[in-house]
Structure 1
């Protein structure tokens, strides 16, 4: 044994020698209590606030009201997209950012992430540079808000007259610059598959492999794989995912069907993922009804898994 290890053991013995040994019976485990349900592991539910897009856009609900609703529903966290902050794409005043941060904290909600609109597939290099600056600014916003991740996109498509390989180079270069900046701010960038330039898990992996940074990971959007078997793509990206978007429906061979939540949860479990599982409801209907209903379905799937 080296001297440093011996010193550490001696120190531990010294500080523990003065701690009295409790003579009481061991405490019962939490799991043994009949009043406490079995836990679903370390996966916690967050609400992606795009679920409230309509009332937020038409201003029938404020961002603060949506936070309170999510807390009352039972969410552990929220994911407020950047364009629900006043003035987007211009950054909001710090006082408002901190108001939302404090509001979430007082409600017992974590901020599991936020997101920004961007397009790195634009053929004009000047416009791509502007998109990089947009993402850089909102990385700083995420750091102030206390969001551990910022969702970004690759872009919309392959412009006419260009090849996928060429556009991938643009995307990789732009995301690489943003990732380096994000690392300095302590914010992870999460690349969302969005059935646009990125259609498959392999498209995501191609970009991740070329950038090769611990500060870039997938935002796994289960509803945006529209080619073939989405569960295969979900399983391929799951071990790398830093956050998710779990939706009511997904696409099997291009056909929209109801999500098999049991299958998704098993993939989450098998991947070893521990963190927030943001859910997102889409389509017609009042989110004040749709969100709690889907929340209960996902929570049940987690407990049943």
Structure 2
């Protein structure tokens, strides 16, 4: 046995001495390997469970377990599913949910608030900015990289206010919020919601006027209700930091089933890398609806590649 070990040692020493020495140049050692685009991952926007969550039929933790078991990589819980909204929840509860998601293998892909920057009263708008500021801190604590916000409904405006004036309110308020966003390391994402913002040009107009690295788009495919939604989705897609994929969208104002293949092609062409939150609406058991739509979106993602 001793002779065999000596023989093996002798062979290894000879091989090391005679092997050619390969020295990588600095450029070779530092050059990254060519990477393929990461596949998108599916998240569940928890508005899909709005009724059971708001009626106490399911707890937030129970929804997390369902989403994890179904196969989602992440969840997107809006702020009003936490106790006492719009008051911030206790840190202990926030960290409990964060820990539960982590243990289930779920990321928190985003969260959101209800806000309205189209209110005519400047003091009310300041209060809305403060609301967003507070919930940016919450997003940071819960581990959400983005906070969804709205421009506003525009419902309380009289004919004495023109669109340019109201848009300035919106731009100024969001601009102020981006300062807080940078401090918390959380991006603001403006959702098109068929309210003050109705078209691709509307949402991009605000994005370009604010002109902040901390502002992007939450692309809601079901809220372009004028004209061709696919053309508008493609127009906005390069500015999206997150999405809302819905079962239906509106073609010239008529609600039709979403062509998921076409949507995934737009996602791919925009070079988007990140989460695609899905959201189901309407009547029916959300567990059944979410399960069915999850499978459809998953197949579309796989088919497009």
- Mapped contact 1:40–1:302 kept (Cα < 8 A): no
Give deviations 1:230-270, integer Å, cap 9, x for gaps.
00110001011000000000000000000000000000000
- Mapped contact 2:198–2:224 kept (Cα < 8 A): yes
Residue 172 of structure 2 corresponds to 173
Residue 122 of structure 1 corresponds to 119
Residue 77 of structure 1 corresponds to 74
SS at match of 1:117: coil
**Which has the larger displacement, 40-49 or 220-229?**
40-49
Give deviations 1:188-237, integer Å, cap 9, x for gaps.
00000000000011111111111111110000000000000000110001
Residue 58 of structure 1 corresponds to 55
What is the Cα deviation at residue 157 of structure 1? 1.5
- Mapped contact 2:42–2:73 kept (Cα < 8 A): yes
- Mapped contact 2:37–2:273 kept (Cα < 8 A): no
Tell me, which stretches of 5 or more residues in structure 2 are unaligned?
1-24, 31-35
Matched, 1:244 2:240: no
Give deviations 1:29-73, integer Å, cap 9, x for gaps.
xxxxxxxxxx99520000000000000011100000000000000
- Residues 74-113 of structure 1 correspond to what in structure 2 (within 5 A)? 74-113=71-110
Normalised to the residue count of structure 1, the TM-score between the two structures is 0.87
SS at match of 2:278: strand
- Mapped contact 2:80–2:113 kept (Cα < 8 A): yes
Tell me, which stretches of 5 or more residues in structure 1 are unaligned?
1-7, 14-38
Give deviations 1:124-182, integer Å, cap 9, x for gaps.
00000000000000000000000000000000016112010000000000000001110
- Mapped contact 1:142–1:150 kept (Cα < 8 A): yes
Deviating above 6 A after TM superposition, structure 1's stretches of 4 or more consecutive aligned residues are none
- Mapped contact 1:40–1:303 kept (Cα < 8 A): no
Give deviations 1:80-123, integer Å, cap 9, x for gaps.
00000000000000000000000000000000000000000000
Which of structures 1 and 2 has the bigger CA Rg? Answer: 2
SS at match of 2:283: coil
Normalised to the residue count of structure 2, the TM-score between the two structures is 0.87
CA distance in 1, matches of 2:53, 2:168: 36
User: How many correspondences in the alignment?
Assistant: 272
CA distance in 2, matches of 1:107, 1:87: 25
CA distance in 1, matches of 2:210, 2:39: 29
User: Pairwise CA RMSD of aligned residues?
Assistant: 1.6
